[in-house]
Amino acid sequence: MPGKVVILSGSGLSAESGLPTFRDAAGLWRQYSWVELASPEGWRKHPELVLAFYNERRAKAWAAQPNAAHLALAALEKNFDVVVVTQNVDNLHERAGSTRVLHLHGELAYARGTGPKRRRQRIDAAPIEMGQTCPEGTQLRPDIVWFGEETRFLGEASEHVASADKVLVVGTSLSVYPAAGLVEYARADAEKVLNVLEMEHVPADYRFMPGPATRIVPPLVDGWLRSHPP
């Protein structure tokens, strides 16, 4: 039986691929609050602004490349049963080669209608325009979980964390709930590691490894792969 590793990742993991983190992304549009850019209220008030924000993020995400940390995490699959649980809406984990990725907050690569039928459609890098509709005839919106909307895969993700032998939290400030609460499902005997630039309150039992993910994650993964041959 291979050991099981669960990765809990956030926007800091993609920072070294050139994608702004949560706070920095808001900074780019600092005349607006996140509520205006990423909430059902914001969408109702000015959908064109919301589409423009996400069209820009989608274009930037497609121009970006997975970094050494994304690639190392994908390589873990050689010797481990790996599940990536991410708050990220980019697809850099998949492009690095990770095959099991749960996107808690949706994906830039998909759009969906705004009516009762929520079937999503793949758009990849294409922008969503005002007036562009789904097959049911309602305006397309990004398939992103906005503030106040329901986080996806939470039950499944908590079960994965609870059954993991190793949990690596990387690039998340653990400030957006309920995703942040997943760290607490880890088993007492699991190896638990946290890699961010800085963190005031490190969750109990997590080994804190501060620094850029591209410097911290590859050697950590190498050690795990060596100590756990296929």
Least distance to ligand NAD, CB of residue 8, Å: 10
Given the residues 93, 103, 105, 160, the one annotated as active site: 105
Least distance to ligand NAD, CB of residue 47, Å: 19
Nearest residue (beta carbon) to ligand NAD: 12
> Which residue number, 16 or 205, has a Cβ lying nearer to ligand NAD?
16
Rounded Cα–Cα distance for residues 220 and 225 (Å): 9
Least distance to ligand NAD, CB of residue 54, Å: 11
Cα–chain center distance at 72: 16
Least distance to ligand NAD, CB of residue 1, Å: 31
201 is catalytic: no
The answer to whether 163 and 139 have CB atoms below 8 angstroms apart is no
Rounded Cα–Cα distance for residues 228 and 3 (Å): 8
> Which residue number, 139 or 173, has a Cβ lying nearer to ligand NAD?
173
> Which residue number, 16 or 56, has a Cβ lying nearer to ligand NAD?
16
Helix (H) or strand (E) holding 143, with range, is strand 141-144
Return the DSSP state at 87. Answer: -
Binding site for ligand NAD (CB under 6 A): 10-12, 14-16, 19, 21-23, 25, 87-90, 105, 171-173, 175-176, 195-198, 212-213
> Which residue number, 2 or 211, has a Cβ lying nearer to ligand NAD?
211
In sequence order, what are the residues at sequence separation of 6 or more whose Cβ sits closer than 8 angstroms to the Cβ of residue 50? 36, 37, 38, 42, 43, 141, 142
Structure tokens at 91: 């697809």
Taking each helix axis from N to C end, the angle separating 68-75 and 213-227, rounded to the nearest 10 degrees, works out to 20
The answer to whether 19 and 60 have CB atoms below 8 angstroms apart is yes
**What are the catalytic residues?**
105
